[in-house]
Amino acid sequence: MKLQFLAKSSSAVVAGTVSAFFGLNHAGAAVFDNPISGSFLGLVCTIVAWAGGVGAVVAFVVIVWSAYLFITSGGNEQQLSQAKKTLIYAVGGFALLIVARALPLLIANITGVPGSSLPSSCQ
């Protein structure tokens, strides 16, 4: 009887730990938090923030790659031209990321939503 109780209680502890770790409620259904902040502008802000972070890293890597191409061109006009194009595209993409940060404010102004009601990720 004692061994059976120990087996049941330990399996309950393991099940509770596993369900808490994987975000499951007691019924076994998955439970997730809403990352959107409850509105369309919240969704736009989440997408812009995520894309901005990834895009900034990509732009940095491409700028470093362009610098490598400049350094290793050794007077080769074709490689020098490729390095210039790469740098121009990287800087242009980074500028586009900066402009994209204003997209939620633009949508808020067009739809008449006050800027103070935007999620904190937009401000």
Show the tokens assigned to 43: 């969704």
Q: pTM of the prediction?
A: 0.60
Q: What is the dihedral of CA 67, 72, 77, 82, to 10 degrees?
A: -40
The token pair at 33 is 């938090």
99-119 residue pLDDT tens: 888 888 888 888 887 877 777
Distance between CA atoms of residues 66 and 93, nearest Å:
14
pLDDT digits (tens, 9 = 90+) for 11-25: 544 455 545 545 555
